[in-house]
A and B are shown apart, each in its own frame.
With several copies, the nearest count.
Chain A
């Protein structure tokens, strides 16, 4: 739906799931984000990448969700990363220190 605040588009490639998130990721849509991501996080035999190119807004709520995903994937020994991070969002990732945890392992 075009009027939705946060939308997801999932692409399944060979051994890789890419989820494009578009819109605003804030407290209002945090539970929506968690429900969409949960089943994907559990697929530990696939690499998981979030494409953030069309993400317009994130705050500590969204960064908190990313931290949960990082930890859940790590405990499953499954690769996770983000790509195409907009500048304003990269700045928040750098400030909070989450950046090094979001780099998808290069050989995956």
Chain B
């Protein structure tokens, strides 16, 4: 697939739609001939961004939407923007991501791994906060296409 377009998927900001997003991502990335492992990486990173939109962006009484746009930048570079129109991320630049490494069992906590995983699994992560949040994830295909 060449750099000829953007696919946009809009779903209700509910947990039950996140696997539909993963499936669409799979379809696009497989056509771009990303490797199995690269696709798994992207699935997790994109789901983390979507989970955050489901959990943190909207009031539970009034769920909004998640817009995911997939842009084929080059034949080997995919940019995925996950946007919500909810409350903004505060002080995004100050946020530090942390893992469980080097912690004791009493120090570890569930939660707070999402941003870390996005950064670890993608080549670039950019967060724009304005009216809502956009998380822009980019991955370059390393596996060579065998023609």
Contact = CB atoms under 8 A, between A and B. Distances in A.
Q: Within the complex, are A and B direct neighbours (CB within 8 Å)?
A: yes
Interface of A: 1, 3, 5, 24, 26-28, 30, 57, 59-61, 63-65, 67-68, 70-71, 74, 88, 92, 95-98, 101
Given A27-B15, A28-B18, A60 B48 contact: yes
B43 A57 contact: yes
Contacts of A95: 99, 116-117, 120-121
Nearest to B37: A88
B105 A28 contact: no
B86 interface: no
A96 B113 contact: yes
The 9 closest A-B pairs by CB, nearest first: A64-B110, A97-B100, A97-B101, A60-B113, A27-B15, A67-B110, A28-B15, A97-B99, A88-B40
B24 to A, nearest CB: 15
Interface residues of B, number: 34
B100 A101 contact: yes
Interface in B83-116: 99-103, 105, 108-111, 113-114, 116
Contacts, number: 78
Tell me whether chain B's interface is mostly helix, strand or loop, or mixed. Answer: helix
B33 A3 contact: yes
B105 A71 contact: yes
29 contacts: A26-B18, A26-B51, A27-B15, A27-B51, A28-B16, A28-B18, A57-B22, A57-B43, A57-B44, A59-B48, A59-B114, A59-B117, A63-B110, A63-B113, A64-B110, A64-B111, A67-B100, A67-B110, A70-B108, A71-B108, A74-B105, A92-B117, A95-B116, A95-B120, A96-B100, A96-B113, A96-B117, A97-B100, A98-B108
Contacts of A71: 105, 108
A59 B118 CA distance: 11
A5 B108 contact: no
Contacts of A70: 105, 108
B137 interface: no
B101 A101 contact: no
A59 B50 CA distance: 11
A98 B121 CA distance: 16
Contact of A101 (B16, B30, B108): B108
